Structure formats: C-alpha cells, structure tokens
C-alpha cells in the first residue's frame, strides 16, 4: 500500500513539475552562474585539495543546488494548503508517509535532472572526474535533497503564515551554505572557522562528495558522509511524516 500510494503521489507531483519546465531550468540557474563566473577564478588558486579546482567546486555547487532547491520545496505545500488539496488528501485512507515520500521523491528526481545538467556544463568548462565518483555524488546530494525537502515540507505545514516561510528558510540556508564550505574548502580558513563548520552536518556531505570526485572512496570523509546523510534522512523523514499525520491548526 505504501508503495502504491507513494507512486501515485509521486506521479501527480512529477507531472506538476513537467508542466512547469521553465521552473525546472530556472532552479539550476544559480549554480550554473557560479560555475561560469566564479569557477574560472579558482583554476590557478592553491586550494589545498587533491585534483583540479573543478573537482573542488562542482561538488560544492551540487550541494548548493540541493540545499537551495529542496529548502524552498515547502512553498508548494503552502499553496496547496490554501487550495485545500492537502486536507482533501488527508481525509482519504492514503498513507501519511506516502504523502510525504511521493513529494520528496519528486524533489529528488528534479534534483538529479538539474544535477546532470550542471555536471555536463562543468565538464564543458574543464571538469574531469571518475564516473563512479560522479554517481556517488548524485547519491549523496539526492539524500540531502530528500531530507531537506522533508524538513521544508514539515516547516511549511506547521507555519500558519506564508510570509514567514521565505525569511525563515533564507536565515537557515545562508549560514548553512557558508559554514559547509560549498564554495571553498573550509580547511583554507582559520582553525576556529574550521571547527565551527564541523558542527554543520552538510560539511560532511561536501567533503565526502569531494573525495568521490577525486576517485578516493575508502576514506574517513566518506564514512562520516554516509553516516550523516543516512542519519539526516532518517530523522527528517520521521519528522515530516509525524507532521503529515498530526498536522492540525
């Protein structure tokens, strides 16, 4: 039943995404601009990492794509709440977990599509990375997308004022982006900043994807990355489902 319901909800929202192809491309615009106008600045800088500057930057941009794309996913549910669609679905016997999973899997699908575009563009700019590493990178950021989208939906369900949603998300995503070293490795910074950034879960994902992009898979970064990604997903989906089950007010 869970599978049936999830597929149903997923199909509904995937068709919704396909209807707005413009938004689909627009989502990838920001990381693409970073790639074009920021990437070339790094090519000759000593970044203290293995591989080329593209192998450092592109994993960061993928996480940025996931971070910003998924964090704002909740906007969709604010609109649907207003239309009464959420309640209409919640009075049917449909699985509450499926209401969440179907939606977040759509976000993950959209992410993968945008991520492939981004990586292709990066390859044109000069990125060279092992295929396995690129695929592992997609896996990590897909999990990031799933967890952030789940949390974003949960927040949007709870929040009664849509005006508050944008600022709240902005206030959370900006420090997350800066502290996780998406643009430049945190190891370049002073010790206190490096320590601080270790409190930011996304940092472990970025480090793991960077390792994958230089083709080293059996590393401590990778282990921490997997643990954080799986832990974050489990917690977020649990929180999200709880909210869909009990959402009141």
Partner 1 sequence: MAIISTAGLARTFRTKRGPVDAVRGIDLTVREGEILGFLGPNGAGKTTTLRMLTTLLAPTGGAATVAGCDLATDPAGVRRACGYVAQSGGVDPQITVREELVTQGRLYRLTKTQAAERAGELARDLGLTELLDRKCAALSGGQRRRLDIAMALTHRPEVLFLDEPTTGLDPGSRADLWELVRRLRDEHGTTVFLTTHYLDEADALSDRLVVVDRGVVVAEGTPGALKLEYGGSIDATLQDTFLAITGRSAAPADAAP
Helix ranges, the chain (H): 2-19, 21-26, 29-37, 39-42, 53-71, 74-83, 85-90, 96-125, 131-158, 162-179, 191-197, 201-213, 220-246
Measured at the CA of 210, the angle between CA 170 and CA 73, to 5 degrees, comes to: 30
Minimum distance, C-beta of residue 114 to partner 1, in the bound complex (Å): 21
Query: Is 48 an interacting residue with respect to partner 1 (CB under 8 A)?
Result: no
Query: Is 19 an interacting residue with respect to partner 1 (CB under 8 A)?
Result: yes
Of 20, 167, 165, 170, give the one whose Cα is nearest residue 78: 165
Tally Cβ neighbours within 10 Å of residue 165.
Answer: 18
Query: Is 209 an interacting residue with respect to partner 1 (CB under 8 A)?
Result: no
Query: Is 211 an interacting residue with respect to partner 1 (CB under 8 A)?
Result: no
- Within a 13 Å sphere around the CA of 63, how many CA atoms are in the beta-carbon half? 30
Stretch 83-102: interaction string toward partner 1, x if CB under 8 A: xxx-xxxxxxxx--------
CB 30 within 8 A of CB 125: no
134-193 residues in contact with partner 1 (CB under 8 A) are 160
User: In whole angstroms, what is the distance from residue 225 CA to residue 205 CA?
Assistant: 5
From 22-30, 170-178, 211-219, 241-249, give the range in contact with partner 1 by CB under 8 A. Answer: 241-249
Closer to partner 1 by Cβ: residue 5 or 49:
5
User: In whole angstroms, what is the distance from residue 91 CA to residue 128 CA?
Assistant: 51
Closer to partner 1 by Cβ: residue 84 or 167:
84
Query: Is 49 an interacting residue with respect to partner 1 (CB under 8 A)?
Result: no
Minimum distance, C-beta of residue 15 to partner 1, in the bound complex (Å): 8
Closer to partner 1 by Cβ: residue 89 or 134:
89
Which residues of the chain form contacts with partner 1 (CB under 8 A)? 1, 4-5, 8, 12, 15-16, 19, 80, 82-85, 87-94, 160, 246, 248-249
């Amino acid at each position: 039943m869970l599978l049936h319901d999830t597929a149903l909800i997923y199909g509904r929202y995937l068709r919704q995404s396909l209807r707005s192809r413009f938004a689909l491309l627009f989502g990838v615009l920001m990381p693409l601009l970073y790639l074009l106008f920021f990437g070339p600045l790094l090519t000759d800088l000593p970044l203290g990492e293995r591989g080329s500057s593209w192998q450092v930057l592109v994993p960061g941009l993928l996480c940025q794509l996931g971070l910003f794309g998924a964090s704002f996913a909740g906007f969709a549910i604010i609109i649907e709440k207003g239309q009464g669609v959420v309640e209409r679905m919640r009075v049917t016997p449909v699985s509450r977990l499926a209401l969440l999973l179907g939606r977040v899997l759509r976000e993950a699908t959209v992410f993968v599509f945008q991520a492939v575009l981004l990586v292709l563009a990066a390859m044109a700019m000069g990125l060279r990375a092992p295929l396995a590493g690129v695929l592992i990178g997609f896996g990590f950021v897909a999990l990031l997308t799933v967890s952030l989208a789940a949390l974003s939906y949960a927040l949007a369900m709870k929040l009664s004022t849509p005006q508050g949603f944008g600022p709240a998300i902005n206030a959370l995503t900006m420090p997350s982006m800066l502290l996780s070293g998406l643009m430049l490795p945190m190891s370049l910074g002073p010790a206190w900043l490096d320590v601080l950034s270790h409190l930011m879960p996304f940092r472990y994902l970025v480090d793991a994807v960077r390792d994958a992009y230089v083709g080293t898979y059996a590393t401590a970064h990778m282990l921490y990355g997997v643990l954080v990604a799986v832990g974050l997903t489990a917690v977020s989906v649990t929180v999200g489902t709880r909210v869909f089950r009990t959402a009141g007010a």
